[in-house]
Amino acid sequence: MKNYNFSILAALALVWLAFMPAKLPAAPVAGDSEVELNGGFFHTQGSGRGTLNADVHYGYYLSQGWEIGLRQALNYNFIKDRRDFWVATTTPLIVYNFRLSDTFVPYLGGDIGLVWNDRNVSGTLGPNTGLKIFLSDQTYLNAGYRYQWFFDRFRDIDNNSNRGNHIVNIGIGFVWGGTRNPKP
């Protein structure tokens, strides 16, 4: 089922690329703000387990490339005949957006923050990367990846670097503000 959904998404993206305008007046500029919403759900057929994940992030562009922001994520695990549990992540982030064109903007960055729930709190940090595909001048699709590893003390970071989470997300983002050149 997962491959089927990915195939549909890939086909829609290819159709959109085939018919998109030659040039979109897009991509962020200094002073822009950005809000991005990502989410997903996973449930194994025939099992009593499922996971809902969602995250929202706010970013502010210091320049055309550099962005600082804050991400709030939530993973909620449904377990049949057992107690459900959730984990939230709050991480400030810094990202560099490589402006290859006005449509395709890959990015690379990192974050450090907290992972918490009603029982525990831990530190987390890790790299993140992805691609923003602008659909219009201020709306984009995001395909992103980040890795989180956890620590209780800074000196434990290296010891836990291979025991973390891989997070892949797809979402939509909106950019506003900043100073753009008027269209001719």
**pTM summary value:** 0.77
Provide the b/e sequence for 73-95 (b: ≥16 CB within 10 Å): bebebeeeeeeeeebebebebeb
Torsion, Cα of 135, 70, 73, 101 (10° steps): 20
What contacts 15, CB < 8 A, 6 or more positions away? Answer: none
Residue 46 — pLDDT band, cuts 50, 70, 90?
Answer: confident
Are the C-beta atoms of residues 28 and 60 closer than 8 Å to each other? no
Q: What residues contact 165, with CB distance under 8 A and at least 6 apart?
A: 147, 148, 149
Higher pLDDT, 4 or 141: 141
Average pLDDT score over residue span 7-31: 63
Mean pLDDT of the 1-14 span: 58
Q: Is the dihedral of CA 151, 97, 104, 90 positive or negative?
A: positive
- pLDDT of 69 > 80? The answer is yes
Tell me the pLDDT tens digit for each residue of 80-137.
888 888 999 999 999 999 988 889 999 999 999 999 988 889 889 999 999 999 998 8
Question: Residue 67 has which token pair?
Answer: 């962005």
Distance, in Å, from the CA atom of 150 to the CA atom of 115, rounded to the nearest integer, reads: 8
* Residue scoring higher pLDDT (68 or 183): 68
Categorize the per-residue pLDDT at 1 as very low, low, confident or very high, splitting at 50, 70 and 90. very low
pLDDT tens track for 84-95: 889 999 999 999
What is the per-residue pLDDT for 152?
73
Query: Mean pLDDT throughout 169-182?
Result: 84
